[in-house]
Amino acid sequence: MEMVTQRRPEVHGPVLGGVILFGMTYKVGPKGQVVIPKPIRDRLGISPGDEVVVEQDGGEVRIRRQVDDAEARRNRIRALRGISADTPGLPGFEADKQEEREREQRRDRELEQLYGRSPR
């Protein structure tokens, strides 16, 4: 009878209670997904639905938990203010909306003359 042995993954990091914390090799799935091991998720406080930040660091990829920093969020919003002021589409959009309002007002006046009351 031939004995079959399982190959253990190559470990490159510390082990906590028999659980490998990092350095284990994982395969990237067909959609580019990689599973973050549960002990690491637990240790970093990452839960299903949480946002993570993926960054390239030289020849490595780093994944870190997205911290909801209210001040950083306010700074990102401030940086966006006025970004569309020079966009040519915005004044055209406003002019189109004004023309549409004027057409509606004319139509309302015409209907009021025809039927003796406002349609709205």
Q: Write down the pLDDT at residue 45.
A: 87
pLDDT of residue 91: 64
Domains (range + CATH), the chain:
15-65 (2.10.260.10), 70-115 (no CATH)
pLDDT at 106: 93
Q: Alpha helices, DSSP H only, in the chain?
A: 38-44, 70-80, 89-115
> How much is the pLDDT for 17?
54
The sign one gets for the Cα dihedral 66, 72, 77, 79 is negative
What is the residue-level pLDDT of the chain in tens, covering all 120 positions?
455 444 555 555 555 555 555 567 888 999 999 888 888 888 888 889 888 889 998 999 998 888 777 887 888 788 887 766 666 666 677 888 889 999 999 999 998 888 876 655
The CA distance from 42 to 50, in Å, is 12
Would you say 9 and 21 are in contact if contact means Cβ atoms under 8 Å apart? no
State which H helix or E strand residue 76 sits in: helix 70-80
Phi-psi bin for 69: left (phi > 0), alpha (psi -120 to 50), beta?
Answer: beta
- pLDDT for 4: 47
Write down the pLDDT at residue 20: 54
